[in-house]
């Protein structure tokens, strides 16, 4: 039986996507697959049972129906944190080990998903490093590109985990970084015996969000063309510049939302005629009637928010980098990206997984 721990160097690195993709791939290979997320950080009730929101979702995608109390025996809420900081949570690893053994029954592969980074949960002894050692798992560590890679982090984890570190996945890699990655970083990491299991390219769709979800996340209201709120936003443009400069910048952006003050009707009109995905109007300022009418005619939603343009832009940046994977099209597309990139032949050989 093969146990794989999916961890990462930081939160929001793609653990759920990799867990689902690997699970579905192993199922297609004919293996019986199980899933566990020992520490849940998003408690949720479903059908009268409490579990972790991400765990419910991954189980649904993989067609599994194990008891959520076994899949996620530890749920982090405020009460848990109080007990943990008082030193009253020292006996949790044996419970996790027991549940893990129960989930392993009848399975060829079990995927164990981490929360946050590999060191998240160290305060209560339930971090990824401790989990991998206690359950004797093969660790797959995702390092997501965010201006740079956390190669120091990967080398430290290799030192700590030794042979338990199966390898690393480099995620969200922009094309411009490939030359440096292939000529320097991958050879360096592999010289440190860190196997690169796959390089997943940056893909705009994976960070996309529906207009309706964006409005909710920004705490705004859709005041025009609400029937078109299923449009997808992949990035954003800030409309604080002069119209001429904005037009040049906007033309280079695809599937963008335009964030602009509600009093900038000149920018509103350019954005609408340029087929923006939506307008996000800041400062709680309504546009004029001409803009509202044009929005309805063109089928381009307008979101009204209270905050200033700078604040909303920062929120948007966070939302697009951390938006949870939920849409079926993104699951299918993401699985294709992951499974095309991963070296499953190496994974099977290195772990002794038989045909």
Considering the domain architecture, whether residues 335 and 279 belong to the same structural domain is answered as: no
Query: Are 234 and 254 in contact, with CB atoms under 8 Å apart?
Result: yes
The total number of structural domains that make up the chain: 2
How much of the chain exceeds pLDDT 90, in percent?
A: 75
pLDDT tens across 275-333, in order?
899 999 999 999 999 999 999 999 999 999 999 999 999 998 888 877 665 667 778 88
Owner of token pair 């721990």? 5
Task: Indicate the pairing of strand 43-46 with strand 49-52.
Answer: antiparallel
Question: Against a cut of 0.85, is the pTM above it?
Answer: no
Considering the domain architecture, whether residues 157 and 23 belong to the same structural domain is answered as: yes
Q: Rounded mean pLDDT of the chain?
A: 92
> The dihedral of CA 233, 234, 240, 241: what is its sign?
negative
Considering the domain architecture, whether residues 185 and 217 belong to the same structural domain is answered as: no
Considering the domain architecture, whether residues 189 and 334 belong to the same structural domain is answered as: yes
How much of the chain exceeds pLDDT 70, in percent?
A: 97
Q: In which element (H, E) is residue 34 found?
A: strand 33-36
What DSSP assignment string belongs to 147-186? SS--HHHHHHHHHHHGGGEEEEEEEEE-GGGHHHIIIIIH
Contacts of 264 (CB under 8 A, 6+ apart): 239
Considering the domain architecture, whether residues 28 and 170 belong to the same structural domain is answered as: yes
Gap between the Cα atoms of 120 and 84, Å rounded: 13
Considering the domain architecture, whether residues 198 and 337 belong to the same structural domain is answered as: yes
Which CATH number characterizes residue 334's domain?
A: 3.40.50.300
Considering the domain architecture, whether residues 175 and 284 belong to the same structural domain is answered as: no
Given this model, what pLDDT does residue 326 score?
Answer: 66
Given this model, what pLDDT does residue 88 score?
Answer: 84
Considering the domain architecture, whether residues 63 and 196 belong to the same structural domain is answered as: yes
Considering the domain architecture, whether residues 31 and 119 belong to the same structural domain is answered as: yes
Considering the domain architecture, whether residues 32 and 147 belong to the same structural domain is answered as: yes
pLDDT band at 355 (very low <50, low <70, confident <90, very high): low
Considering the domain architecture, whether residues 166 and 254 belong to the same structural domain is answered as: no
Considering the domain architecture, whether residues 215 and 338 belong to the same structural domain is answered as: no
What DSSP assignment string belongs to 259-325? EEETT-HHHHHHHHHTT-SEEEEETT-PPPHHHHHHHHHHT--EEE-SS-HHHHHHHHHHHHHHPPP
Given this model, what pLDDT does residue 190 score?
Answer: 95
pLDDT tens across 9-32, in order?
999 899 999 999 999 999 999 999
Query: Are 4 and 166 in contact, with CB atoms under 8 Å apart?
Result: yes
Which CATH number characterizes residue 227's domain?
A: 3.40.1390.20
Domain that holds residue 232: 209-322
């Amino acid at each position: 039986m093969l146990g794989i721990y999916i961890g990462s160097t930081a939160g929001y690195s793609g653990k759920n996507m990799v867990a689902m993709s690997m699970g579905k791939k192993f199922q297609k290979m004919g293996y019986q697959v199980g899933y566990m997320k020992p520490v849940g950080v998003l408690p949720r009730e479903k059908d009268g049972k409490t579990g972790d929101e991400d765990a419910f979702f991954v189980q649904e995608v993989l067609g599994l129906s194990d008891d959520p109390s076994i899949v996620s025996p530890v749920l982090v809420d405020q009460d848990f944190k109080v007990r943990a900081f008082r030193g009253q949570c020292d006996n949790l690893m044996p419970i996790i080990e027991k549940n893990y053994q129960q989930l392993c029954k009848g399975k060829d592969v079990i995927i164990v998903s981490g929360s946050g980074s590999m060191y998240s949960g160290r305060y209560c002894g339930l971090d990824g490093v401790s989990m991998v050692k206690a359950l004797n798992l093969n660790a797959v560590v995702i390092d997501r590109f965010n201006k740079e890679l956390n190669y120091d982090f990967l080398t430290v984890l290799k030192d700590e985990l030794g042979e338990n570190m199966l390898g690393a996945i480099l995620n969200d890699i922009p094309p411009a970084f490939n030359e440096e990655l292939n000529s320097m970083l991958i050879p360096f990491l592999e010289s440190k015996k860190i196997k690169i299991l796959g390089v997943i390219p940056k893909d705009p769709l994976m960070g996309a969000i529906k207009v309706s979800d964006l409005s909710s996340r920004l705490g705004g209201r859709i005041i025009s063309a609400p029937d078109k709120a299923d449009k997808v936003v992949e990035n954003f443009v800030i409309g604080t510049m002069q119209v001429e400069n904005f037009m040049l910048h906007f033309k280079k952006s695809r599937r963008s939302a335009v964030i602009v003050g509600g009093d900038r009707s000149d920018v509103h009109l350019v954005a609408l005629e340029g087929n923006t995905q939506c307008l996000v109007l800041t400062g709680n300022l309504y546009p004029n009637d001409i803009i509202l009418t044009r929005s309805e005619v063109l089928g381009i939603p307008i979101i009204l928010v209270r905050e200033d343009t700078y604040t909303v832009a920062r929120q948007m940046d966070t939302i697009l980098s951390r938006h949870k994977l939920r849409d079926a099209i993104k699951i299918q597309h993401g699985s294709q990206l992951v499974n095309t990139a991963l070296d499953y032949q190496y994974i099977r050989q290195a772990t002794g997984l038989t045909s």
